[in-house]
Amino acid sequence: MSVPFRILDIQLCERGVVLRLPFRFGVVTLTACPQAFVRVRIRTEDGREAEGAAAELLAPKWFDKNLALSNEDNFDQLRDSLALARDAYLAESEAHSAFGHFAAHYQSQIEAGAARQLNPLVACFGPALIDRALLDALCRALGQSFYAAVQANLPGIDARLAPDLAGFDLDAFLGTLRPSRDIALRHTVGLVDAITAADLKAHVADGLPETLEEVVVATGCRHFKLKVCGDAEPDIERLTRIAGVLARVPDCVVTLDGNEQFKDAESAAQFWNRVQATPALQRLAAATLYIEQPLPRATALRSDVRALAAMRPVLIDESDSTLDAFTQAIACGYTGVSSKDCKGIYRSLLNAARCRQLNLRAEAEGRGAPYFMSAEDLTTQAGLAVQQDLALVNLIGLGHVERNGHHYVDGFAGQGAGAAERQAFLQAQPGLYEAAGDNVRLRVDRGRIDLSSLDAPGFAARAHPDWTTLQPLRSA
């Protein structure tokens, strides 16, 4: 049974993040970036008040890859999206369920964003953060964990924005979701990441691994996400060097991320054929689960990818800009879609329901269960961002998760969190973090992340940031 509430306040803040290593994905190499924070207050109809929060990096050149825009332009786009969503949500005087607040503003937010030349992926960023903060507040008001709240559908999730699910029992589906106590880490190898010590031009010397070789030894990780640039020769050469390191990893699992770098489906299929035909890459190719977003979003949902998908499943990530994008993608031959908190928790939950419905039909037809979701990452930071994303992908049953924020940013220190905030999260989330001198970092043990502390009242966070160390969101 859903629980209606009114929104009393929404505050938007930010704080800078400095990367310990440069991270290149697609067309950008990131060295520093702001992190946005949302703080809300709600009142339920029976008078209970509670505060909730969420956070997310304002990542450039992912939501909008227009090369005419600078990183600062991209930051401002995401700030604008947050401000638009805040104003819209606060203008609503009626009580709604958590999902009802999202549904009431979904289409109008996209339209308001379009009027400001923000694409749907950018426009949906603001509501994605506010919805998480609202759900955090609701869970705290009710004394429920995120897991228990979703299982009982206290947010009131329904099919009003997903007509293909109109005949599907969402309540029953949500009630079947069962989180695990830990999850496998999938380590990202960025396009400028050092593979061996010979690639290092300078040492960071902060006690964290700097090369792929060191990551394998330090984390015990067996799952890896490999970025490719869409140019066959350097990609094959780099993958060959990576394969040499991963040859030492037993039961290695790999995913490839195209980051929209292939010009068309034919060139992507030709590239994968070359990978499979390269002797040094045979083990890596056999270990590859799927290929992520090989085509530019402008053409991805108008391109037939079935030739590539016949060799390896293909999923959409950047193309997942609206609630119906996955259904469009399926018609093109895609069978997978990513889950990312920055695109919205309700999108992930509805897509998980779609996968369940589609696989039930496929199994009845003897086609197995081809539809799937993956857990991808935009450098979610220690604290609210990483915890809420981990809880979401854990609840929908994903067994491994891309986690790169802990590698490219040095824990809470890299995001400017003070000593009190670091210690608050360390003490509130036992097993998830570990102390490193006066710093606090994500803990990885034998390639896995302990999620047991996320099952507590609120949205996966027993602690909140030190709000006195944050600045008001610029131009909001």
CA distances from 474 to 11, 17, 237 (A): 12, 15, 43
Tokens read off for 227: 């970025």
Tokens read off for 28: 């950008």
Q: What is the mean pLDDT of residues 326-336?
A: 98
Task: Judge whether 78 lies within some domain.
Answer: yes
pLDDT of residue 270: 98
Residues 132 and 185 occupy one common structural domain: no
39 has pLDDT over 90: yes
Residues 107 and 191 occupy one common structural domain: no
Task: Judge whether 194 lies within some domain.
Answer: yes
At 59, which CATH number?
A: 3.30.390.10
Range of the domain at 313: 175-459
Please name the residue ranges forming H helices in 247-344. Answer: 265-277, 282-287, 297-300, 306-309, 325-332
CA distances from 173 to 130, 132, 341, 388 (A): 25, 21, 20, 21
Task: Judge whether 150 lies within some domain.
Answer: no
Provide DSSP, 175-197. HH----SEEEEEEEE-TT-BSSG
Residues 252 and 131 occupy one common structural domain: no
Task: Judge whether 155 lies within some domain.
Answer: no
Residues 119 and 239 occupy one common structural domain: no
60 has pLDDT over 80: yes
Contacts of 115 (CB under 8 A, 6+ apart): none
**Cβ of 377: how many Cβ atoms within 10 Å?**
25
Residue whose C-alpha is closest to residue 429's, from 387, 391, 471: 387
The amino acid that residue 444 corresponds to is V
pLDDT in tens, 166-212: 999 999 999 999 999 999 999 999 999 999 999 998 899 899 999 99
Q: Which of 143, 161, 190 is the last residue of a domain?
A: 143
1 has pLDDT over 90: no
Task: Judge whether 123 lies within some domain.
Answer: yes
pLDDT of residue 367: 96
302 has pLDDT over 70: yes
pLDDT in tens, 65-121: 999 999 999 999 999 999 999 999 999 999 999 999 999 999 999 999 999 999 999
pLDDT in tens, 404-419: 899 999 999 999 999 9
Burial category of 358 from C-beta neighbours within 10 Å (exposed 0-12, middle 13-18, buried 19 and up): buried
Q: What is the pTM of this model?
A: 0.97
Residues 117 and 215 occupy one common structural domain: no
Residues 128 and 262 occupy one common structural domain: no
What's the pLDDT band for 385 if we cut at 50, 70, 90? very high
Residue whose C-alpha is closest to residue 61's, from 144, 119, 128: 119
- Interaxial angle between packed helices 125-142 and 98-115, expressed in degrees from 0 to 180 and rounded to the nearest 10: 160
Q: Phi and psi of 331, rounded to 5°? A: -65, -20
Residues 395 and 347 occupy one common structural domain: yes
At 250, which CATH number?
A: 3.20.20.120
Computed from CA positions of residues 125, 128, 131, 135, in that sequence, does the dihedral angle turn out positive or negative? negative
Residues 130 and 194 occupy one common structural domain: no
Contacts of 300 (CB under 8 A, 6+ apart): 260, 293, 316, 318, 319, 329, 332
Mean pLDDT of the chain: 97
pLDDT of residue 217: 97
Task: Judge whether 471 lies within some domain.
Answer: no
Question: Count of domains in the chain?
Answer: 2
Residues 32 and 138 occupy one common structural domain: yes
Task: Judge whether 97 lies within some domain.
Answer: yes
476 has pLDDT over 60: no
Residues 129 and 209 occupy one common structural domain: no
Task: Judge whether 476 lies within some domain.
Answer: no
- Interaxial angle between packed helices 384-395 and 345-364, expressed in degrees from 0 to 180 and rounded to the nearest 10: 20
CB-based contact 475:13 (threshold 8 Å): no
Residues 199 and 267 occupy one common structural domain: yes
pLDDT of residue 29: 87
Distance CA 368, CA 384 (A): 37
Distance CA 350, CA 300 (A): 21
CB-based contact 80:46 (threshold 8 Å): no
CA distances from 132 to 135, 140, 156, 166, 429 (A): 5, 12, 14, 24, 19
Residues 134 and 203 occupy one common structural domain: no
pLDDT in tens, 257-282: 999 999 999 999 999 999 999 999 99
pLDDT of residue 26: 74
Computed from CA positions of residues 138, 141, 142, 144, in that sequence, does the dihedral angle turn out positive or negative? positive
Q: What is the mean pLDDT of residues 445-462?
A: 97
Distance CA 216, CA 445 (A): 12
Distance CA 416, CA 439 (A): 11
24 has pLDDT over 90: no
The amino acid that residue 393 corresponds to is V
pLDDT of residue 201: 86
CB-based contact 386:442 (threshold 8 Å): yes
